[in-house]
Chain A
Amino acid sequence: MGQNETAHAPTDDVSGETEEFDPIGTLTLIAIYFVILVLSWVYIYYIEFLGRDLVVVG
């Protein structure tokens, strides 16, 4: 069943080669992305959008 992910990997297949995997690097990257997202949003919404002429009021 080498080509089939229904193949049930024996449990020791994983634990044998590594300890508990902790994706700390991934969480760091995502945290950095979030900071960029929030800063960009503040800029684009509050400075670019609300700072323009002819704001629609109704």
Chain B
Amino acid sequence: MSEAIEAEQTFADKFPEEARIVRAALLGSFLALTLGAIFGIIQTLHRTGVFRGLIDSTDYYTSLTAHGVFLALSFTTFFLVGLFTWAVVRSLDRPLLNTKITWTWYGLMAAGMTMTGVSILAGFVDSIDMSADVLFTFYAPLQAHPMFYAGLAVFIVGSWIAGADYFRTWLAWKRENPDERIPLQTFMVLTTMAMWYIASSAVAASVLIFLLPWSLGLIDQVNPTLTRTLFWFFGHPVVYFWLMPAYLLWYTVLPKLAGGRLFSDPLARVVFVLFLLLSTPVGIHHQYLDPGIAEGFKFISMTNTMFLLLPSLLTAFTVVASVEYGARQRGGSGLLGWLTDLPWRDPAFTGMMLAGLMFAAGGFSGMVNAGMNINYMIHNTIWVPGHFHLTVGTAVALTFMAATYWLWPQITNKPIYSRTIGLVQVVVWFIGMALMSNAMHAQGILGVPRRTAEPEYSGFDYPTMFGGFEELNIQIAIGGTLLFVSTVLFIGNLVLTMGNPKVSGLGDPIPSALSGPDDSPKVLDNLRLWVGIALTLVVLAYALPLAAIIQRGGLLGPGVGTYPVWLAPLLDALANAAATLLGGIADASASLAEVVG
């Protein structure tokens, strides 16, 4: 228990096998980041009309699917499992039970994501009769190749085993330390994974019961409202699944980087419990404008959503207070003067702080999204991706990248190649996102839709507000380019870091909280209780809407076709549509002629 000796040891020194797993997960995550960023820059330039030479507009949606799946699912989740493995082992101070199991889930997740990724990317190659241009929401009755759904299922099963791995390791620790409180980081991991089990059960059901059999031709049709509702049952908590590892870093690593320690361990526990309880019974707020769902259900969902602001506000308070404590330890003074006494030259610190600042801005647009009727104004406009590029695209992604500057040496014993490049990288990301996201919000208010290859239309012009449509397009293009440059700097810096020789003395332990776990009520650690309440809330929020949807449309839908984007050659679809439209126009002009005549 000699602190002096332990303080010098890194995670890689103490747990070399676990460090290898963490590295593998992080590298998988950064591979996805690289791919996602390439599609990101292609899309930014295409949609804004700056450069449309690289892909056809019909292939834009292949690119958009890849961007969404690689970044929102792959980059985030692989980083998460890497970080969680580190956090569990570090905070329990014991190795995993059986690393064979660990490598099994890693392999499953990698294989699943590869299957899904291949089915998407095949969409670029005309000679392969496979595609999955369904975007990361895969709303039926648009249909992807079966491999897309199968890959997702394998990926999710892998993540379930990862969760079991953490729970088993914790239980083993508990047997060895029966009277101890759950260490904070492990507590965060366990509550997050419990939420993940609840949330992902719905998408797993949707994929395995409906979408996969349907894509294989075993059933003729599905109920689009049902699969869409099951998706959002999963789709909202998944944003907290992305956010929780960022919160873990803000709570446990950021205060340390600021030169202090966490302000309050009990508050942190309360926040994670609240997320476990409230993340799931809110998904219908993505469906405010859906027909076939009663207004009352939407209202309940809004109420739950507003409660969900509470843990984020608690986080803002606890994290900023911990940073302030650090600044005052470093000699900071004054009401706000302490802000100048923080380690702004440290890319890990600055990156996380900028990410937190962006998250505060995202809080506002999130409030607007959560408002039920104001949804008419911004639903499915580019405001929405403007919002989530602040939250997952910056609060999460920038925190992950910034944390890597601190974490990577701990798991490799290699110092970062250049902290200066790291600092430039996080600042460039911030500036790029400020430009891009702000312009996306503004365009959204003009009514510019999201998810489209060519947002300009022949029949009308957008009104002008804070700058016109064209100026905002330029801002988006510049912002997107800066984000790409930032990603290249990050990946480049990391690759050069891998070439560095191993050194010793990089160990950087995390201090305990100012107000420790013993100050919190023991009931906070009663995971069974919280999972039970979470399940009850989910049943309350979803049983009636799901029953109503099934009663209205039937389990397999009220007479809806199948639109396999992977079988029907594109041109046929377009030709049919054109014929239908022309027919419509012909009918219309005929009836007009009748009237006029």
Contact = CB atoms under 8 A, between A and B. Distances in A.
B328 to A, nearest CB: 7
A37 to B, nearest CB: 6
Interface residues of A, number: 31
B374 A44 contact: yes
Nearest to A4: B93
A23 B90 contact: no
A48 B445 contact: yes
Interface string A22-58: 0111101110010011001100110011001000100
Contact of A26 (B3, B320, B376, B511): B320
Interface string B302-331: 000000000001001100110011011100
A7 B183 CA distance: 9
B516 to A, nearest CB: 6
A3 B93 contact: yes
B91 A23 contact: no
Interface residues of B, number: 54
Interface in B328-373: 328-329, 334-336, 338-339, 360, 363-364, 367-368, 371, 373
Contacts of A24: 335
B196 interface: no
Contacts, number: 103
A26 B9 CA distance: 34
Interface in B471-518: 509-514, 516-518
Nearest to B89: A3
Nearest to A48: B445
B185 interface: yes
A16 interface: no
Interface of B: 1, 3, 6-7, 9, 14, 90-93, 177, 180-181, 183-185, 252, 263, 265, 313, 316-317, 320-321, 324-325, 327-329, 334-336, 338-339, 360, 363-364, 367-368, 371, 373-374, 376-377, 445, 509-514, 516-518
13 contacts: A1-B3, A3-B6, A3-B91, A5-B252, A8-B518, A14-B514, A23-B325, A25-B334, A25-B335, A30-B317, A41-B364, A45-B368, A56-B376
